[in-house]
Amino acid sequence: MAVLKICRYGEPVLRQRTKPAEYGEIAGRLPELLRDMWDTCAAANGVGLAANQIGLPLRLAVIALPVGKDQVRRFVLLNPKIVGKAGLMEEDEGCLSFPGFFAPTKRYAEVKVRAQDEEGRHYELSARGLLAKALQHEIDHLDGKLLIDRVAPVDKSQVKDHLKEVVRSWDKPQSNKAGQKQNGKA
C-alpha cells in the first residue's frame, strides 16, 4: 500500500499518449499497482486517476465514484475506449494534475466505454452524469489530453491568469520518476 507522486501540469508524461497494455504482461504486478492507484486517488480526494498521472505510460485508469455517504463504486479501466456518446453538458471540472484549478468544461452527457477489468475480462459500460464525465476525463489523460484542452476558447482567456496563479502556488516541481512513491498527499 503506497501513495504515489501525482504528476503535475507541465510534466511531459501527461502529454504522452499511453500504450495499450497486454493483460498477460502486467497481470502479476496489476494487483499492487491498482492498490497504489486506489490509495493515491483516495489520499488526493480524487474521483479518478490515470496511470500516466503517476508517471506510467500504461493505458490504465481507475475511477472511484461516490454513491453514498462514505461509499464508492470502483471501476478499473484497462485499455478503455469510448465507443458511443450522446448529448452535451458543461460543468466545472478539476484535475489531480492541476491542484486547486477548476474550469468550465464541455463533455458528452452520456458515453459507452469498452475496457478490461482487473482480471483481463472485456466489458462495456454505459454512463451518464458524473461517471460519464470521469470516464472521459481519465481516457483523455490516457490519450495525452489535459483539462485545459477541453476548456472553451472564450473561457481559456478568463482562466489563463487563474491557472498561472495556481501553478505559482505549487511547490517546486518534483522529478518525474515513474511510479515514485511518497509519504502523504500529492
Is 91 annotated in the active site?
Answer: no
Q: Please report where in the chains the cell 504515489 appears, as a residue.
A: 4
Provide CB contacts within 8 A for 173, sequence distance 6+. Answer: 8, 10, 11
Return d(Cα 37, Cα 46) in angstroms, integer: 11
The single-letter code of the amino acid at 11 is: E
**Burial tier of 182 (Cβ tally within 10 Å: 0-12, 13-18, 19+):** middle
Query: If you count DSSP H runs as helices and E runs as strands, how many of each does the chain have, helices first?
Result: 5, 9
Q: Of these residues, 11, 93, 118, 138, which one is catalytic?
A: 138
Q: Which residues have a catalytic role annotated?
A: 138
